[in-house]
Chain A
């Protein structure tokens, strides 16, 4: 029998040991392939998704590849560790280092090639499903199946290179001496995990200062600092502080020396320390994923409220009213479609208020406001000089206090205004509006330094309902047409058209792409995590079997074994998610202040979905694991 035959037979004989490795590699191939198939779809390339989307997709494909790479790397090392004993036997039987490496190389190349083939095949089978999914999330026209030459080409090249490199580096994974040690049973039991009190303290300090930094001031730099501190803190949390905490827990014998606690808490220190780096990675990625999901979905919601609350379909901003080109274009378009409209000319002045940071308001003439108020059936009151009607937008979080009685301006030369009445309605952007009588307006103008622009607001009664418009509604069609026209002439004339429908749609599409990519990444990531944990558990299975067999002999019942093992598996699954949950909550509650609507709920929902997926995996893995252990219980 030649050595190559031996390699082949080896795979055939050890099927079960190879299956896990093979299927995870194949899954990694399939993921990347499906993704590539999607982004290289001819219709996607043509779709008007904007620059951000295509960059996002590009980045996502790198992330997918890095995940796949790590995943395959991890599978290979777990797989080789399981088979260490076999290598030990081969060594004793006289196999040379070179032969052993050649064997492992061949095996890996065989498995790699087959999994690339099956991965692509599987990807092709799922492709239609995936395209349908993408179609729906991105609201695209239907995407027909095509021959994904480019996707196949990239996948084959990337993974064959990956398998080749890793197969050649096997000496890195398998140390022959270790294999022998394993065989002779002379491998020493693991030492009790050690931790440094100082590093544990460092973890506490960095974690709390991370929260402090971001709470004190919120900008890019502080977020970066906070993230860095958080990374350090979390790393030492898992590698050091956790060990210290468990050691303290062990000191409390009332808890520790009670029932099965003695069993699983003693194992806990080893398990946490062994998996610290994995926990760290899972926690970070989950946190980032859930926080971004929260923020992205909040953006989406915000766009929707903005659309619903804004009564004006179009706004024309022009610096010079002698340029009627924008209004003419709008009116002409609307007339040709036979759509009724009302136009309100507004000249708004922007003032900053005293004492309130970043708080501005727009001042408008009462005569202009009256026009608008009649059509929108808003309250109209008579105003004396220096009295004002204050209208606060509903969509902004920056609200002026409700019990405010007068307005004081940052510019001290300006007189104070008495608030006669106030109510809430979104009218002009998300800035509060102060209506004053024409005389007051003229007085204020004298001190106003900026040029006052002439704006026009278009109210179209037939378009104002509470639903958001679908992509084939008249509003969106006309909006798109006008925006396109606007872009073509924009640069020559001082002014532009803004349409709420188009803005809404752009945000929707942008966020949809991000959500689609995010979902995809979270999906593969959660599968990868589950597989990591699965490998982890099953590479320790032999050891655990011996452990429980011994305990069973001295009277550990099946029920107690199940509970102990369940605790252990649950900790592996839920420790990182638990910390990701806390971090997401902290992150979102701080970052979420920037946005207006329920960011926290959305972030928690994201975590919730993640927990649900992991729980499904947890039960599957647990069932399989317990089934194995049950056999050794006497």
Chain B
């Protein structure tokens, strides 16, 4: 039994024209696995992530996270499930301007009304791991994008979630910061054994994963596993993307 079980998942958006965004997806992510989701624009990546992160509900099919089905929960229960079991990293960081970095990071714990001592310990540990101790008392607009994303990762992991979900975490970052952020994610995956699911356009980011799953027109198309070498894996991803009809020629291998 995997940490995340997706069974026959479909999503249809009903509008003037109904769109079948996801069709019959089956996917299992094991405990401690780091999985990337890739695909062309409009292929259904965000939709899939939203289903898993319980932000949106599936039209049919089932999702089990740690053997629980969040889509059967009530709304308030669901919010609690999200902040206890899941961690989120977003492209736009989603940090609050009115809070300092430290306050942003401990926010999930304060909502759980944890003790000050516990919060301080966890904050210290996670800040050291992510190398953001110096900026803890700064505000979000006083630090760089990379630092902001690391703070967001700290917030997403401070409560030791069973599953970390990331939607384009490097989308707003330059390549150096991207690399740095991905290294942090890799480190957390290795040291804490946190299961991770990452949606990205960026082959560099995807190359840090153990496995990359490709979606085409709402269906699982293919998946490739990483061997020993990240450089090789990166090349494989680019090849796969160009095969899928992406725009691989725009991506240069120089970034690796």
A residues at B contact (CB < 8 Å): 188-190, 192, 253-254, 257-263, 266-267, 270, 547, 550-560, 634
Q: A553-B55, A560-B79 are in contact. List 12 more A-B contacts (CB 8 A).
A: A257-B103, A257-B116, A259-B110, A259-B111, A550-B90, A553-B82, A553-B88, A554-B88, A554-B107, A555-B82, A558-B75, A560-B111
| Cβ-closest chain B residue relative to A259 | B113
The answer on a CB contact under 8 Å between B113 and A557 is no
Residues of B within 8 A of A260 (CB): 111
The answer on a CB contact under 8 Å between B113 and A553 is no
Residues of A within 8 A of B84 (CB): 555
The answer to whether the Cβ of B41 comes within 8 Å of any Cβ in the partner chain is no
Residues of A within 8 A of B98 (CB): 266-267, 270
Residues of A within 8 A of B56 (CB): 634
| Cβ-closest chain B residue relative to A271 | B98
Residues of A within 8 A of B68 (CB): none
| Cβ-closest chain B residue relative to A266 | B98
Shortest distance between the CB of A324 and any CB in chain B (Å): 84
For the complex, give the distance between the alpha carbons of A191 and B228 in Å: 48
The answer on a CB contact under 8 Å between B79 and A557 is yes
The answer on a CB contact under 8 Å between A555 and B80 is yes
| Cβ-closest chain A residue relative to B109 | A257
Q: A189-B141, A555-B83, A557-B76 are in contact. Are A257 and B106 (CB under 8 A)?
A: yes
Shortest distance between the CB of A632 and any CB in chain B (Å): 11
Residues of A within 8 A of B111 (CB): 259-260, 262, 555-556, 560
The answer on a CB contact under 8 Å between A552 and B103 is no
The answer on a CB contact under 8 Å between A190 and B119 is no
Q: A555-B83, A557-B79 are in contact. Are A547 and B96 (CB under 8 A)?
A: yes
In B95-148, the 8 Å CB interface with A consists of 96-99, 103, 106-108, 110-111, 113, 116, 119, 139-141
Residues of B within 8 A of A261 (CB): 110
Residues of A within 8 A of B113 (CB): 258-259
For the complex, give the distance between the alpha carbons of A350 and B107 in Å: 76
Residues of A within 8 A of B94 (CB): 550, 553-554
Residues of A within 8 A of B106 (CB): 257, 262
Shortest distance between the CB of B12 and any CB in chain A (Å): 18
A189, A263, A547, A555: the one within 8 Å of B79 (CB): A555
Shortest distance between the CB of A75 and any CB in chain B (Å): 27
The answer on a CB contact under 8 Å between B82 and A554 is yes
The answer to whether the Cβ of B47 comes within 8 Å of any Cβ in the partner chain is no
The answer on a CB contact under 8 Å between B116 and A552 is no
Shortest distance between the CB of A547 and any CB in chain B (Å): 7
B75, B83, B99: the one within 8 Å of A262 (CB): B99
Shortest distance between the CB of A99 and any CB in chain B (Å): 34
| Cβ-closest chain A residue relative to B56 | A634
The answer to whether the Cβ of B86 comes within 8 Å of any Cβ in the partner chain is yes
Most buried by B among A188, A260, A557: A557
Q: A270-B98, A555-B86 are in contact. Are A253 and B116 (CB under 8 A)?
A: yes
For the complex, give the distance between the alpha carbons of A554 and B116 in Å: 21
Residues of B within 8 A of A266 (CB): 96, 98-99, 103
Shortest distance between the CB of A634 and any CB in chain B (Å): 4
In B154-178, the 8 Å CB interface with A consists of 155-156
Residues of B within 8 A of A554 (CB): 82-83, 88, 94, 107-108, 155-156
Residues of B within 8 A of A557 (CB): 75-76, 79-80
Shortest distance between the CB of B195 and any CB in chain A (Å): 18
In B28-83, the 8 Å CB interface with A consists of 53, 55-56, 75-76, 79-83
Residues of B within 8 A of A270 (CB): 98
For the complex, give the distance between the alpha carbons of A528 and B88 in Å: 43
For the complex, give the distance between the alpha carbons of A558 and B88 in Å: 18
| Cβ-closest chain B residue relative to A188 | B141
The answer on a CB contact under 8 Å between B79 and A257 is no
Shortest distance between the CB of B84 and any CB in chain A (Å): 8
For the complex, give the distance between the alpha carbons of A560 and B113 in Å: 13
For the complex, give the distance between the alpha carbons of A258 and B107 in Å: 9
| Cβ-closest chain B residue relative to A265 | B98
For the complex, give the distance between the alpha carbons of A254 and B117 in Å: 10
Residues of B within 8 A of A263 (CB): 96
A-B pairs, top 10 by smallest CB distance, nearest first, are A555-B83, A557-B79, A189-B97, A555-B82, A634-B55, A550-B94, A266-B98, A557-B76, A262-B110, A189-B141
Shortest distance between the CB of A267 and any CB in chain B (Å): 6
For the complex, give the distance between the alpha carbons of A529 and B197 in Å: 50
Q: A262-B99, A266-B98, A553-B94 are in contact. Are A257 and B119 (CB under 8 A)?
A: yes
Residues of A within 8 A of B76 (CB): 557-559
For the complex, give the distance between the alpha carbons of A581 and B94 in Å: 40
Shortest distance between the CB of B142 and any CB in chain A (Å): 10
For the complex, give the distance between the alpha carbons of A196 and B140 in Å: 24
Shortest distance between the CB of A561 and any CB in chain B (Å): 9
Can you spell out 13 A-B residue pairs with CB atoms less than 8 angstroms apart? A188-B141, A189-B141, A254-B116, A257-B103, A257-B119, A260-B111, A262-B99, A262-B103, A266-B98, A266-B99, A554-B82, A554-B88, A558-B76
Q: A189-B141, A554-B155 are in contact. Are A262 and B107 (CB under 8 A)?
A: yes
| Cβ-closest chain B residue relative to A550 | B94
For the complex, give the distance between the alpha carbons of A254 and B156 in Å: 23
Shortest distance between the CB of A279 and any CB in chain B (Å): 19
| Cβ-closest chain A residue relative to B54 | A634
For the complex, give the distance between the alpha carbons of A261 and B84 in Å: 19
The answer on a CB contact under 8 Å between A553 and B116 is no
For the complex, give the distance between the alpha carbons of A550 and B141 in Å: 17
Residues of A within 8 A of B88 (CB): 553-554
For the complex, give the distance between the alpha carbons of A560 and B110 in Å: 12
Most buried by B among A188, A253, A262: A262
The answer on a CB contact under 8 Å between B53 and A553 is yes
Shortest distance between the CB of A294 and any CB in chain B (Å): 40
| Cβ-closest chain B residue relative to A253 | B116
| Cβ-closest chain B residue relative to A268 | B98
Most buried by B among A257, A258, A551: A257
For the complex, give the distance between the alpha carbons of A552 and B107 in Å: 12
For the complex, give the distance between the alpha carbons of A559 and B76 in Å: 7
The answer on a CB contact under 8 Å between A558 and B79 is yes
Residues of B within 8 A of A259 (CB): 110-111, 113
Shortest distance between the CB of B48 and any CB in chain A (Å): 15
Most buried by A among B84, B97, B113: B97
